């Protein structure tokens, strides 16, 4: 009984360890195949790894992964690749023997790659999947000393005794092998990239890649290395910045000459578009006139309205006439506010210079502290692109919060809000803070 319990415990421990194991290929997902669908081994010590065998799933990516986890399958492959974006899932360790070739000798000496799709439909063989597979194959060839030739990188149909036809006539072997032998390659290092930006706002960013190929990157000449837009390739970016980008689909050249093993930086400026929402910016390296290479990197970026507050302590605030500083009100904005007495003949005013960041229609708000001595007809004047609008408010109520004054078209770098002290005598007006949100 005790031995049976130890056996169960050991098997459970192995299963948990297998579940949390890391893939052999950096960047792959690890989803282990059912243990009865492959042969444990100790390759390359137990068997040499001499071949890469290309398969097509004749089904979906998720379906292939599920099938290799099924005890009834009695088949497996080391890797499965997704058509849409080239995502890679590893299911059998390199050291172990996957059951994929239909020939035991080739099983023991190969690594099998299953590609999502059907042999009769070339639409499944996307550029993203070709590139991901070529990067994986190049990595495996370098790791195990496999020659990068068609004698050692073969299709399932080329295995002796094979009854399968995959990858089929639509698999582009010439293109695939050119990608494998490509001397240009890169790995993503990192980026300083914002998560939010406002219309017209300009933010400096950088993206870094390590040169993992065998050729030097140059920022100039007839074939410079640049960052280009992807998904789709060569799209016009809504964040294009005139005078900073190379073109609408080329954010930047590499910053300097980058030797193999060194890191190149791509510096550029994003300009926020006027349409609000969430955008995905995708980029890839390109050596102009020769080839795209390296991973596609994507960043989610949300365009949000400007939300600017001008307190009475701001450099955008000024007064004309005699105004006092108040601190007693508990519903004030910030640390203090300004106040002055009203009279019909008063020429005193407070002014907030809005300095709109981009032309457009903005919602304008005001904040004051309420009280029984406040003016019931405080006069705000909003100077905008179409003239001046007057909004009268009762400062005896609605204190301690933002009160909407209206939506007004403001020119870039312009716009003012005035609070006049003219009005019935016996009251005071409170000049505290103004806020604009937009444009819309």
State the CATH number of the domain containing residue 49.
3.40.80.10
Same domain, 258 and 367: no
pLDDT band for position 6 (cuts 50, 70, 90)? very low
pLDDT of residue 181: 81
Rounded CA separation 379/366 (Å): 12
Note whether 158 and 195 are same-domain residues: no
Tens-place pLDDT, residues 109-163? 999 999 999 999 999 999 999 989 998 999 999 899 999 999 999 999 999 999 9
Residues 292 and 367 placed together within one structural domain of the fold:
no
Q: Please give the C-alpha separations between residue 434 and each of 266, 270, 334, in angstroms, as whole numbers.
A: 39, 29, 12
For 75, the domain range is: 2-181
Residue 91 phi, psi (nearest 5):
-125, -20
Among 304, 338, 365, give the residue marking a domain's end.
304
158 and 15, same structural domain? yes
Domain boundary among 181, 205, 230: 181
| Statement: residue 5 has pLDDT above 70 | no
CATH number at residue 418: 2.60.120.260
Do 163 and 174 lie in one domain? The reply is: yes
CA distance 41 to 91: 15
pLDDT tens sequence across 334-349: 999 999 999 999 999 9
Let me know whether 292 and 356 are in one domain. no
User: Which of these three, 304, 334, 363, is where a domain ends?
Assistant: 304
pLDDT for the residue 290: 81
Q: Pairing mode, if any, of strands 360-367 and 433-438? A: antiparallel
Is pLDDT above 60 for 324? yes
Q: Are residues 97 and 52 in the same domain?
A: yes
Supply the pLDDT for residue 131: 87
Number of domain units in the chain: 3
Domain check: are 274 and 405 in the same one? no
Residue 20 has pLDDT above 70, yes or no: no
**Both 9 and 127 in a single domain?**
yes
Place of tokens 């036809």: 165
pLDDT in tens, 73-103: 999 999 999 999 999 999 999 999 999 999 9
Q: Indicate if 79 and 110 belong to the same structural domain.
A: yes
Taking 90 as the threshold, does the pLDDT of residue 291 lie above it? no
pLDDT per residue as tens digits for the range 388-431: 999 999 999 999 999 999 999 999 999 999 999 999 999 999 99
Same domain for 410 and 283: no
Per-residue pLDDT for 316 more than 80?
yes
Bridge partners (DSSP) listed for residue 310: 434
What does DSSP say about strands 349-353 and 433-438: parallel, antiparallel, or unpaired? unpaired
Asked whether residue 2 carries a pLDDT value surpassing 80, the answer given is: no
In a shared domain, residues 254 and 319: no
Q: CATH number for the domain including 220? A: 2.60.40.10
Q: Do the beta carbons of residue 83 and residue 126 sit within 8 Å?
A: yes
By the 8 A CB rule, do 251 and 267 touch? no
**Chain segment 191-223, per-residue pLDDT in tens:** 999 999 999 999 999 999 999 888 899 999 989
pLDDT of residue 22: 87
């Amino acid at each position: 009984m005790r031995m049976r319990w130890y056996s169960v415990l050991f098997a459970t421990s192995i299963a948990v360890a297998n579940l949390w194991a890391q893939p052999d290929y950096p960047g792959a997902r690890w989803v282990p195949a059912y243990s009865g669908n492959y042969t444990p081994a100790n390759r390359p010590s137990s068997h040499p790894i001499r071949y890469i065998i290309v398969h097509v799933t004749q089904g979906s990516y998720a379906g292939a992964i599920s099938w290799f986890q099924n005890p009834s399958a009695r088949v497996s492959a080391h890797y499965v690749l997704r058509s849409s974006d080239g995502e890679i899932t590893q299911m059998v360790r390199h050291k172990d023997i996957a059951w994929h070739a239909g020939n035991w000798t080739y099983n023991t000496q190969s690594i099998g790659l299953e590609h999502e799709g059907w042999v009769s439909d070339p639409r499944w063989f996307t550029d993203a999947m070709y590139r991901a597979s070529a990067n994986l194959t190049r990595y495996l060839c370098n790791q195990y000393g496999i020659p990068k030739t068609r004698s050692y990188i073969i299709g399932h149909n080329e295995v002796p005794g094979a009854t399968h036809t995959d990858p089929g006539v639509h698999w582009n072997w010439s293109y695939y092998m050119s990608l494998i032998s490509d001397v240009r390659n890169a790995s993503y290092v990192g980026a300083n990239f914002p998560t939010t930006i406002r219309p017209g706002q300009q933010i400096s960013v950088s993206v870094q890649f390590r040169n993992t190929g065998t050729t030097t990157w140059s920022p100039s000449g007839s074939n410079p290395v640049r960052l280009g837009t992807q998904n789709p390739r060569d799209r016009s970016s809504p964040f294009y910045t005139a005078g900073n980008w190379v073109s609408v689909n080329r954010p930047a050249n590499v910053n300097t000459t980058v030797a193999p093993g060194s890191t190149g930086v791509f510096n550029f400026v994003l300009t926020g578009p006027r349409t609000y929402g969430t955008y995905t910016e995708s980029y890839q390296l390109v050596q102009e006139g020769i080839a795209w290479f390296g991973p596609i990197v994507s960043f989610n970026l949300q365009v949000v309205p400007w939300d600017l507050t001008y307190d009475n302590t701001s450099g955008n605030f000024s007064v004309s006439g005699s105004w006092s500083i108040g601190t007693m009100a508990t519903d004030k904005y910030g640390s203090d506010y300004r106040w002055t007495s009203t009279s019909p003949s008063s020429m005193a005013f407070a002014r907030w210079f809005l300095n709109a960041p981009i032309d457009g229609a903005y919602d304008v708000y005001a904040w004051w502290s309420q009280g029984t001595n406040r003016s019931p007809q405080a006069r705000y004047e909003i100077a905008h692109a179409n003239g001046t609008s007057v909004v009268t408010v009762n400062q005896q109520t609605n204190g301690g919060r933002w009160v909407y004054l209206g939506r007004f078209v403001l020119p870039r770098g312009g716009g003012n809000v005035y609070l006049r002290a003219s009005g019935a005598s016996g009251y005071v007006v409170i000049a505290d803070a103004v806020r604009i949100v937009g444009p819309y």
